A and B are shown apart, each in its own frame.
Chain A
Amino acid sequence: DSGVTQTPKHLITATGQRVTLRCSPRSGDLSVYWYQQSLDQGLQFLIQYYNGEERAKGNILERFSAQQFPDLHSELNLSSLELGDSALYFCASSFQGAETQYFGPGTRLLVL
């Protein structure tokens, strides 16, 4: 158990809908990272927050957004969902910007 928690574990929704994924980092970690993992693309970095502020952006679509709250938990919002958004979404955390990131159990999203 890495200490990073994510909810929900599974999510099934329809195209065009909007969902919110939640993540709580390890105690003491200020950085939160979001990743998308699909069979063809592998693990892709989406976005990083550090102590409430956006720090780095990766391959995140405009339909997706994230935020980190004062208690350091983070949410990833996915809107206008398409079939291709079906994937595992991981949250990871680290102390400040340290290289070693600890991953949560992931949320499996299925868009029908």
Chain B
Amino acid sequence: EDKVVQSPLSLVVHEGDTVTLNCSYEVTNFRSLLWYKQEKKAPTFLFMLTSSGIEKKSGRLSSILDKKELFSILNITATQTGDSAIYLCAVDLHIGGSNYKLTFGKGTLLTVNP
């Protein structure tokens, strides 16, 4: 069975701290790994990673994938209260023919206190 495991489940930090969120996976037919941020409602796309060792960066957020060790990390530097959200990791899997599906981890709840 395909598994995506995120850690920690929950994290509370102060503004200005740096956080690292982890995502490990055990899947067959991996295509890519995606990070989403979910605030009050819909998950919003952050990054898609397909190759090992290449860092994706957007402002204070960055992410990297290790396809040998089967994990990814999401770093957030100089955290702000607006970073408070659930961060979801998803793995895109080939399920046959031209069909794919996303399998999500349960998420990490990040709370940034002022």
A interface residues with partner B (beta carbon < 8 Å): 2, 4, 33, 41-45, 48, 55-56, 58, 90, 97, 99-106
Contacts and interface: CB of A to CB of B under 8 A. Distances in A.
Interface of B is mostly: strand
B102 A101 contact: yes
Given A45-B101, A99-B48, A105 B41 contact: yes
Interface residues of B, number: 24
Contacts of A43: 43, 88, 90, 104, 107
Interface string B27-48: 0000110101000011111001
- In the A-B complex, the 3 residue pairs with the smallest Cβ-Cβ separation, listed nearest first, are A42-B106, A103-B42, A43-B104
B95 interface: yes
Contact of B99 (A48, A102, A104): A48
Contacts of A2: 42, 44
B98 interface: yes
A17 to B, nearest CB: 24
A48 B99 CA distance: 9
A53 to B, nearest CB: 11
